[in-house]
Amino acid sequence: MKSLVFALGFLLCVLPLSAVAGTKESAPIDLSEPVVISGTHLQPGHYMVHWNGTGSEVQVQFLQGKRELVSVPAKVISQKNQQSPAVTLRSTGDGWNTISEIDLSKVTLKFPEKTETASQ
């Protein structure tokens, strides 16, 4: 009985700490056209997005294979999305598109609205 009480006490102490530690999530996405994000050109193809952080502010890494191509800040919005994954683009004003948001099954990653430079 003592060990059960100890185990429950331990779990009650550890579970809140794991929530504070932040999240590490990932999902695959496909880009159907070229985009530029934080000055990095991403060609059409298959990518993995990894994000981690606490609360709604996260850092999102775009990977192709094991290679990180770019890392950008984003907001995580918890919501169910009917069509996922879905990538929404917006024009940068210089003829390129950038990623506005990525809708996944249970979250949306929303990227800040700022002009992205298409530096080569």
Residues 39, 40, 44, 48, Cα dihedral to 10°: -120
The token pair that represents 35 in the structure block: 């985009």
User: Which residues, in sequence order, are CB contacts of 29 under 8 Å at separation 6+?
Assistant: 46, 47, 48, 49, 85, 87, 102
User: Which residues, in sequence order, are CB contacts of 34 under 8 Å at separation 6+?
Assistant: 41, 42, 43, 44, 96, 97
The token pair that represents 102 in the structure block: 């990525």
Model confidence at 4: pLDDT above 50: no
Model confidence at 18: pLDDT above 50: no
Contact 34, 41 (CB under 8 A): yes
The token pair that represents 30 in the structure block: 């496909």
86 phi and psi, to 5 degrees?
A: -135, 135
**Single pTM value for the model:** 0.74
pLDDT in tens, 66-116: 999 999 999 999 999 888 889 999 998 888 999 999 999 999 999 987 645
- 15 C-beta neighbours (distance < 10 Å), count: 9
